[in-house]
Amino acid sequence: MFLLGQQLGKYQILKTLGSGGFGTVYLVRDTWIDKKLAIKVPHKQNGEFDELLREPRLLAALDHENIVSIVTAEKADDYFFIVMEFVEGESLEARIQKTKGIELPIAIGFARQVATAVSYAHRQGVLHRDLRPGNILVTPEGKVKITDFGTSRFLEVADRASTIIGSPPYMAPEQFQGRAVFASDVYSIGVIMYEMMTGVLPYFSANPRQLEKMALSGRLTRPRERNRAIPVEIEEIILKALAPMVSDRYQQAGELLDDLGTVSEIDRRGSHLEEIRQRLRAREKSTSRFCWNCRKPLHARSTSCPFCSEAQ
């Protein structure tokens, strides 16, 4: 643990940004060029040097606007650490907790950015294995940045990752057995979408084994039962991403992203229809009101049609 103002090589420690199972992240100032950066100091410092280089090498293979970029890896004062860009903002986890869920259009936008980044990583053969709101940063402008690839690995040789790694509430059923595949990341995105749009997790238990049983059962409260504003199409995407069986799920993030794009088209058409409805309402004479949908007469103060139930 480094103290405020302490120096690590040319980097001055400004504050602790967070700590996880694999390392601690600090906000630092590069004293040579006077620039703020983030450094990640692994807890395990006595491992093989190639193992320490695994995460920075993997990050170096990823160049995407929605993934935190690496600057370099260094060793100073007998400490190995990774130097990364510093992202202003807050974690998606903090955002969800603060607002008890996220407004639907914003949540869909965040989901698309996450899926875009994960789809890119999958095309590079990279499986994240620990996607969760705490590992997703959101800038003040609303840009999403995925971080913490310390648990990731390449899947270009092996067809699956065999180590049990992840955060239980966001882990796919097969991850509990050490059989993570690209569809496991998709499952995590499904959990994140569910949580953003409803404010709660689809399954929760303090016992990881109980969570595994819940995820395998597939018995969850449908998202629209918790939030009726969620479009049916979005609910279908979430439920497909959360399918207990890998074969029933999106196989890669790109497939989920394609469906999110289709829903965006539906939303645009829906907005266009609403504009037409508003124009039709504006044409109605105040002396005689009719339902814009079924054209039947309405009471002067009716807010919905008693015949077809459409809002007026």
Active site residue 248: no
Q: Length of the chain in residues, anyone?
A: 312
The CATH number corresponding to 90-262 among 3.40.50.720, 1.10.510.10, 3.30.980.10, 1.10.1270.20 equals 1.10.510.10
Phi, psi of 180 (to 5 degrees): -70, 135
Q: Which two tokens stand for residue 210?
A: 């109980």
The CATH number corresponding to 7-85 among 3.30.70.890, 3.40.50.1980, 3.30.200.20, 3.30.365.10 equals 3.30.200.20
Q: What's the mean pLDDT when you consider all of the chain?
A: 85
Q: What is the pLDDT of residues 282-299, one digit of tens each?
A: 544 444 567 766 677 777
Tell how far CA 144 is from the center of its chain: 8
Q: What is the pLDDT of residues 225-239, one digit of tens each?
A: 999 999 999 999 999
Q: CB within 8 A of 249, min separation 6: which ones?
A: 172, 183, 186, 187, 240, 241, 242, 243
Given pLDDT bands bounded at 50, 70 and 90, which one contains residue 305? confident
pLDDT confidence of residue 125:
86
More confident residue, 58 or 234: 234
What is the spatial distance between Cα 246 and Cα 215, in angstroms, rounded to a whole number? 12
Given pLDDT bands bounded at 50, 70 and 90, which one contains residue 49? confident
pLDDT confidence of residue 247:
93
Q: What is the pLDDT of residues 32-48, one digit of tens each?
A: 999 999 999 988 888 78
In the chain, the N- to C-terminal Cα span, in Å, equals: 62
Q: What is the pLDDT of residues 102-135, one digit of tens each?
A: 999 999 999 999 999 999 999 988 888 889 999 9
- Catalytic member of 77, 130, 159, 258: 130
What is the spatial distance between Cα 171 and Cα 191, in angstroms, rounded to a whole number? 9
Domain ranges of the chain: 7-85, 90-262
Residue 153 clears pLDDT 70, i.e. is over it:
no
Residue 261 clears pLDDT 50, i.e. is over it:
yes
Nearest to 188 by CA among 270, 132, 114: 132
pLDDT confidence of residue 155:
41
What is the spatial distance between Cα 75 and Cα 81, in angstroms, rounded to a whole number? 6
pLDDT confidence of residue 163:
45
Confidence (pTM): 0.79
pLDDT confidence of residue 90:
94
